[in-house]
Structure 1
């Protein structure tokens, strides 16, 4: 009797661990990092090339007792619940830490699972903030539409007598008014929980529109830099929502620089292989490979509000309303993505991760 052939597929184990959602590192008996997966890069906010070859304690700060136990050859395994660690130049966070032996050469696998509050931030589970911001925004929508119509009418009158440069700005005003009006229409649906319409969009179009609008405000002492991936695929998202997200992040970055003469606002895009989340809606893990980030070299967010940064009515601005980042979180979530704040050395970064639009045969668009 012939044994039945196995139907279990052969897996690429390297790709499997690379796509694994838990931050995983392989270290040798001396604590030198030999391998990290994409989740570890995301948690530590460092690239693989910047981590491999370094001592693990130089990358992930932890209590002395944990370091001693991890360095002790007699400690074959280690598990710590809600251990306080620091990753990169970020403030301390809590994570479940697990170390197990690998092979016979003294190598060990180290896994780090962020505690719930950190996991919620990284996973974009900011539904309560988004709903509260939507309710507040819908109350304001009615008061905003009338003056918007007046602004657009005045811009159209000015355009009749403007030169080429003036016409460029009046066209920008009209485009911004139309975009805001559309956004307000969408915001009025927030309290009813209706999702925004998403389609395949070229991310660089909303980036250009938002950048033009912010640059036109002529923030003194602020220069802009760009670092774009030219082969980024189309994004599954909404153009107007994406413009609003970027406008809020870019404006916040400019204002955070406080008029200093060496301020830099950096916009960057990247393709992150293996990044995915489980939103708990039964669809399993969803790939979020598209990253757009807005960074500034300002003083950063005060430590006492970092944990509530995306909550409504939380702000450091004297005349602020505290709705901007809550709205960013809401719009990103409605497009199926996540938003994250990190402090990376001298830089404050807001990173938005979004799903790629379905593309036949995996074709990537330039």
Structure 2
């Protein structure tokens, strides 16, 4: 035994699990609770003695589909984002629920992590400020666009009668009118209630279109890396919406790198078994197994705006309008999906989750 090995203290693993801040339960193959840690007792507001020996879904109220899967010895793994649970007479709560196999006896470890707020994960609506921006755009767009068109028309008439020095100013007027009109068009995205037309989609078509468009802008010092799962099924989505989402995320990643020589923007896809979400739109839980992520090794999002990152007009860019990520979140939600932001080590990662085409859809 080396001197370094001998200096490492031994640990009481039971005490480590008991002190772990994540609610953790051990259940057998029939769903009977064998062990709970202190965090689980606190989350459920029930003592260990009242939980051990009971079937887990008799203690923690949950959707029938989860009860069936926990009661099925053949189901060893489960992951659900924002699963709704209830304990006793308490109001329901949303948790990220994960179940993994433990040992060879059919036992399973179940963890319950309170879900992040909608402002952080955009699992629900865009947020109050998003709806306010939509309402404002709907009311003001028509009133603003009409005088803008008149201003631009007058400037174009003046340009015909002025010299070169005057034409410089009329050109500036027209350019500024076009810029303001574009801004209003972007704001109007938040007031449109029409659903996006979705169909079976090969995800790699919009991915490659977005990457090629970003490459054409020639961001200095940025290298693109691709990590694709070639076995992904078709996505239930909209081609143009996916292109817009990815182009916004890739462009943001490139701009965040600020021209550094070792900048990398990584685009990856994966299939996530068991991931589902309830968007609160009356359709119940929707499986979102298709993941496409855009990551960069830049400095990351400042901590003070992470909670509001997907709200309109929140930006770190000097010339930014703060509409790009709000639009990303809205388009993802309109397709029945969601978008998440996270800081993973040295990487800033945005993960978009979308539904796969059902078997019925493939047959059609």
Q: TM-score range by the shorter chain?
A: 0.5 to 0.7
Distance (Å, rounded) in 1 between the aligned partners of 2:337 and 2:281:
14
- Higher Cα Rg, which structure: 2
Helix, strand or coil for the counterpart of 1:206?
helix
Q: Which residue is 1:352 aligned to?
A: 352
Distance (Å, rounded) in 2 between the aligned partners of 1:355 and 1:96:
20
Gap change, CA 1:223 and 1:283, over 3 Å in 2: same
Q: Which residue is 2:191 aligned to?
A: 191
Deviates most, 130-139 or 294-303? 130-139
Helix, strand or coil for the counterpart of 1:350?
strand
Distance (Å, rounded) in 2 between the aligned partners of 1:97 and 1:235:
23
Q: Which residue is 1:30 aligned to?
A: 13
Q: Which residue is 1:79 aligned to?
A: 41
User: What does residue range 36-115 of structure 1 map to in structure 2 within 5 Å?
Assistant: 62=21, 78-81=40-43, 109=109, 111-115=111-115
Distance (Å, rounded) in 2 between the aligned partners of 1:187 and 1:200:
29
1:349 Cα shift? 0.3
Gap change, CA 1:255 and 1:108, over 3 Å in 2: same
Q: Deviations over 1:215-242 (max 9, x none)?
A: 0111011000000110111111111111
Q: Deviations over 1:263-289 (max 9, x none)?
A: 000000111110001122332211000
RMSD: 4.4
Pair 1:311 & 2:311 matched: yes
Distance (Å, rounded) in 1 between the aligned partners of 2:235 and 2:186:
20
Q: Deviations over 1:66-107 (max 9, x none)?
A: 99xxxxxx987542359xxxxxxxxxxxx9899xxx99x9x8
CA contact (8 A) 2:337 2:355 kept: yes
Q: Which runs of 4+ in 1 moved over 6 A?
A: 95-98, 136-143, 184-187
Deviates most, 343-352 or 128-137? 128-137
Gap change, CA 1:220 and 1:300, over 3 Å in 2: same
CA contact (8 A) 1:97 1:110 kept: no
User: Where do 5+ consecutive residues of structure 2 fail to align?
Assistant: 1-11, 25-34, 45-93, 150-181
1:357 Cα shift? 1.5
Helix, strand or coil for the counterpart of 2:273?
coil
CA contact (8 A) 2:119 2:311 kept: no
User: What does residue range 137-286 of structure 1 map to in structure 2 within 5 Å?
Assistant: 188=188, 190-286=190-286
Q: Which residue is 1:338 aligned to?
A: 338
Please report the TM-score for the alignment, with normalisation by the length of structure 1: 0.58
Distance (Å, rounded) in 1 between the aligned partners of 2:339 and 2:255:
20
Q: Deviations over 1:187-243 (max 9, x none)?
A: 856424111111111111111111111001110110000001101111111111111
Distance (Å, rounded) in 2 between the aligned partners of 1:204 and 1:359:
20
Gap change, CA 1:302 and 1:242, over 3 Å in 2: same
Distance (Å, rounded) in 2 between the aligned partners of 1:136 and 1:272:
38
Q: Which residue is 2:298 aligned to?
A: 298
CA contact (8 A) 2:187 2:323 kept: no
